[in-house]
A = this chain, B = another copy of it.
């Protein structure tokens, strides 16, 4: 894809694209993962490639929910690991929670590649967040040996760990699929998702939806938790539908 100068107005977007292309070459991604990334790119373009105000409020709400969870977990897939693996490891370190690999098109090769990539990414996470270095080395990475299933969900994406996704009361799932999001909600969990399409079934089903680009919003989420001055979660007060409408209004203004 050639070298991208840092001064390029779309540097972040082009770097994200580069990471995905490299991850595809390394066997981390399913066939259609690059297409899914492109769909996200289009919505990000409509958002002006910027974290909008309603997204910022959803990030704050997610930070508060993760902080007060009895037991939380971060669920990752190929695109997530490629785009923001190190940041998600740092987030897990800050929350002292596990990361669980859960993918739609599960093959032993992809699972192995993702698990070993996450182990390597600890180093980058420690460089990015030196004050979390000890916690980072303790982050548990699950996914290799699932021993439970998400009810009412077909196929291997239902496989999960009893000590991870299955028993968590709060789950952060970047780039989730709609079916699985519905099944997790049906289990009574608090589901916080990161999804660039405010109209998607995932966005409309989740407890809290952050409509933002993954590698842009996870550092903000970590910063919120680092600052430690979070209000208690608004819980009953959070209106996800209203927040999504505010994101749509941002997009509509961009069209006008």
* Beta-carbon nearest neighbor of A38 in chain B: B38
Q: DSSP majority for the A interface? A: helix
* Beta-carbon nearest neighbor of A16 in chain B: B35
How many copies of this chain does one complex carry? Answer: 2
Residues of B within 8 A of A31 (CB): 1, 21, 24
Picked from B1, B39, B199, B248, the residue with its CB within 8 Å of the CB of A39 is B39
B-contact bits for A228-256, CB 8 A (1 contact / 0 none):
00000000000000000000100110010
Bound Cα distance A17, B35 (Å): 8
Please determine whether A35 and B32 come into contact, CB atoms closer than 8 angstroms. no
Task: Determine how close the nearest CB of chain B comes to the CB of A20; give it in whole angstroms.
Answer: 7
Q: Answer whether residue A42 sits at the interface, using C-beta atoms and an 8 A cutoff.
A: yes
* Beta-carbon nearest neighbor of A198 in chain B: B255
Task: Determine how close the nearest CB of chain B comes to the CB of A196; give it in whole angstroms.
Answer: 9
Given contacts A34-B38, A42-B43, A45-B197, 16 further A-B pairs with CB under 8 A are: A17-B35, A20-B35, A21-B31, A24-B31, A34-B34, A34-B35, A35-B37, A38-B39, A38-B40, A38-B41, A39-B39, A39-B42, A39-B45, A41-B42, A42-B197, A199-B255
Please name 7 pairs of A and B residues whose Cβ atoms are closer than 8 Å in the assembled complex, sorted by A.
Answer: A24-B31, A34-B34, A38-B40, A42-B197, A45-B199, A199-B255, A252-B255
